[in-house]
Amino acid sequence: MAFNLWHNALELLNNVAKKVNLDQVAHKRLSKCVRELTVSIPVKLDNGSFDVFTGYRVQHNTHRGPTKGGIRFHQDVTLDEVKALAMLMTWKCAVVGIPYGGAKGGVICDPSKMSIGEIERLARRYTSEIITMIGPERDIPAPDMNTNAQVMAWIMDTYSMDKGYVVPGVVTGKPVSIGGSQGREEATGRGVTYTALNTLKHFNMDIEDTSVVIQGYGNVGRATAELLYKEGCKIVGVGDVYGSIYNPHGLDIAKLGKHLTKTGTVAKYSDADSIENKDLLELKCDVLIPAALEGQIREDNAEAIKSKVIIEAANGPVTPGADNILRQKNICIVPDILANAGGVTVSYFEWVQGLQSYFWSKREVNLKLRDIMTKAFYDVLAISEKENVDMRMAAYMLAVGRVAEAIKIRGLYP
Ligand code: GLU
């Protein structure tokens, strides 16, 4: 069957529902997204013609608070993908205990083939099309794949122009100059790093002896590589869409950064062997960190994975079928809804700082992030040990339990 992230997300929900004997009402409600909006987005192109793009904004659940989640610009975006990612955001916010439900947005487009001006016009018109759905008390977008602080600034500006006054709290991941938080840009990678360090500690693995492979070298993959390198890990392999590289002695991540700035890719870096992208995931290493798209580790390549641990920096990188194979191989997977929750956690800090107009230092942000990520890690680990389940099931038991509790307490309207 073709890969479908929404079907995978439902399968995970059904598995945990069975395990915890989830209340039927909660199960039924959580199997659907509360709001799904499809919009068409006309954009004038630089050559004078115009195109109509398709975009989505989906809110999965609102029981624990307003909804929260990124917006991605990618040629393969589908409504099912956005629904699944919205559901994952619900669980992610619940695992780390921040007061949001999950949402996600996406626009079908290939930003690598668009000019800055075209991307700005697309972002602004998309914002205008979903404007009834978003707002600081309602639904708060943030960056995701191929969107960044600049795109958030355009969304914030468009929303503010519509309201007639400035509303910084409508998005997070904004530039610091207009109310963004210190540390937000690298927050997902930093959270992945704290999770990786907690995992190594749990398995009594020595940081200096740990070899790491990272798939994806965008915002998340790159920050993770740089931070783990600083901690002393050996980053032996990395890759992006243009190609992958391998050096068993460890890559010089600072030097690789210069190559990346110059060429726009990690591929063809001189102090490493070039390898096929599909071989990157199968390298021998201690920690494998998929930090790219979903569905990268599937039934057809899971058997070949040789790492001891997988830390899911991407959303949904391992399919449920692959999960079973990896479990039999005794590979510990630290799931996305725990491992990559650092981004939304600092988004929460940004939202709180914005509401109070009182801003924190980077040190304060990073310390609070570490506290939240570490508490969530040990909360999940405790359930995993007590219930004798893997880390994914444990994280789902924690998250779904918290959301189900909110559904029960709030009751049904009318
Ligand atoms: N897009 C990020 C994620 O998937 C961050 C979402 C947010 O900060 O709201 O977790």
Please, which residues have CB within 8 angstroms of residue 53's CB and are 6 or more apart in sequence?
Answer: 40, 41, 42, 43, 107, 108, 109, 122, 126
Task: Identify which of 219, 220, 215 has the alpha carbon closest to the alpha carbon of residue 242.
Answer: 215
Q: Which two tokens stand for residue 367?
A: 């310390």
Domain boundary among 334, 358, 387: 334
CATH of the domain at 102: 3.40.50.10860
Atom of ligand 1 nearest to the CA of 145: 1
Q: Compute the mean pLDDT over every residue in the chain, rounded to the nearest whole number.
A: 98
Nearest 5°: CA angle at 195, between 191 and 201?
145
Ranges assigned E (strand) in 162-261: 211-215, 234-240, 243-246
Which residues sit with their C-beta closer than 6 Å to ligand 1?
A: 68-70, 92, 142, 144, 172, 315, 340, 343-344, 347
Asked, for residue 390, whether it belongs to a domain, the answer is: no
Q: What is the CATH number of the domain that holds 317?
A: 3.40.50.720
∠ CA 65-106-10, nearest 5°, is 65
Q: Per residue in 145-174, pLDDT tens? A: 999 999 999 999 999 999 999 999 999 999
Q: Residues 288, 162: one domain?
A: no
| Domain encompassing residue 95 | 5-9+32-171
Task: Specify whether 203 is located in the same domain as 163.
Answer: no
- Look up residue 169 and give its amino acid: G
Same domain, 198 and 243: yes
Last residue of a domain, one of 147, 171, 195: 171
Q: Using CA atoms, how far apart are residues 148 and 77, in angstroms rounded to an integer? A: 17
Q: What is the pLDDT of residue 1?
A: 66
CB atoms within 10 A of CB 228: 26
Residues 324, 287: one domain? yes
Catalytic one of 83, 104, 174, 308 = 104
pLDDT tens per residue across span 196-244: 999 999 999 999 999 999 999 999 999 999 999 999 999 999 999 999 9
For ligand 1, what atom is nearest to the CA of residue 68? 9
CB burial of residue 150 (10 Å; 0-12, 13-18, 19+): middle
Q: Is residue 75 domain-resident?
A: yes
The pTM is what? 0.97
List the structure tokens of 101.
């439900």
In a shared domain, residues 145 and 195: no
- Do 153 and 238 fall into the same domain? no
Q: Are residues 164 and 253 in the same domain?
A: no
- Residue 44 falls in the annotated catalytic set: no
Domain count, the chain: 2
Distance (Å, whole) CA 87 – CA 95: 13
Within a domain: 122:
yes
Of the chain, the percentage scoring pLDDT greater than 90 comes to 100
